[in-house]
Amino acid sequence: MPIFDFVCTSCQHTFEVLVRGSQVPACPACGSEALEKQLTLPAIKTSSTHGQAMAAAKRRDKIQGAEREYTQRQYELNHDD
């Protein structure tokens, strides 16, 4: 669940909010939706590390799948006479 830091451009109030889907957050102090999203480094690092881990896992699965296919093909070639 992504938590973002926002700064209200109307009253400069800074707050954290949990954003679900396309929900538009509003300033809890003045109710304005004129907000600027602040980039919070720890959250970006976490999601990027997670993305890289997922990509690495997918790559590994693909390589293992190709190796299995190759082994199977070699087996069939050697036992097809």
Summarize as ranges the residues that interact with Zn ion (CB under 5 A).
8, 10-11, 13, 27, 29-30, 32
| Ramachandran area for residue 58 (φ above 0: left; ψ -120 to 50: alpha; else beta) | alpha
Neighbours of 35 (CB within 10 A): 21
For residue 3, the minimal CB distance to Zn ion (Å) is 18
Cβ proximity to Zn ion: between 14 and 40 the closer is: 14
For residue 34, the minimal CB distance to Zn ion (Å) is 8
Find out whether 6 and 17 touch, Cβ atoms under 8 Å.
yes
For residue 26, the minimal CB distance to Zn ion (Å) is 8
